[in-house]
Amino acid sequence: MSDRRAFNRLKGQAARGVTVAFGIDLLGASELQNRLEAMDKKIAAKIVQNAIKPIVRMGRAEWKKGIRAARVGSKTTAFRRKYGQGLRQALAQSVKARMPSGAGKNALRAYISLGGRSTKKGEKAITNAGQAMWLEYGTRPHGLGRGRKHPGAAPITNVRERIEQLQPKARRLFEEAIIEGMATGGKTIKAQRMKAVRARAELLK
């Protein structure tokens, strides 16, 4: 075996070890912790990755709901006039999710971000995290150029609070997904089975 292959194998083993340790740390039930720790590291790491995915999807869905539920005035904005849709709708479409995969640097790389674009008649409505921040935190009075001024705006979303309230549900869902993964040897949880996993998590309230 070449030095490079040996080094890559070591990196993979380290990444899987960190992934499993992360999963064990999140599990509240000691029995599940012991079972996961005793499993083959490659399978256990896959189980943890698969259990993280529904949590990320749940967070993404809640973020979209929070943006779409923002209370704003009915006045037509320049954004809507130009692109044919409101900023909230464009931002909600821009919420993306990154899922963990493999045994390298992406083993635990899971997050939600704003980075997409919406289009109308070939025009691109570029949305970014700054615009979401304005909705979440509000803005101070500021200049718009050419002598124009913006009076500032109060916060109109509460995404941070909505996500925080999900934590107990997310933990229950993670544990149920771990149990499902143990039963299948780390296979991907298909949509139909995920419904059952979510239902079990709901019953544990």
Q: What is the pLDDT of residues 56-83, one digit of tens each?
A: 999 999 988 888 887 766 555 677 777 7
pTM (global) more than 0.75: yes
Confidence grade of residue 54 (pLDDT, cut at 50, 70, 90):
very high
Distance of CA 120 to CAs 85, 89, 115, 126, 130, Å? 9, 13, 17, 11, 22
Is the pLDDT at 161 greater than 70, yes or no?
Answer: yes
> Virtual CA dihedral for 85, 88, 93, 95, nearest 10 degrees?
160
Q: Which residues pair with 149 in a beta bridge?
A: 143
Q: For residues 108 and 19, is the Cβ–Cβ distance under 8 A?
A: yes
- What burial letters (b/e) apply to 54-92, b meaning 16+ CB within 10 Å? bbbebbbebbbebbeebeeeeeeeebbeebeebbbbbbb
| Whole-number pLDDT of residue 187 | 93
pLDDT in tens, 120-140: 656 666 676 777 888 888 889
| Whole-number pLDDT of residue 144 | 81
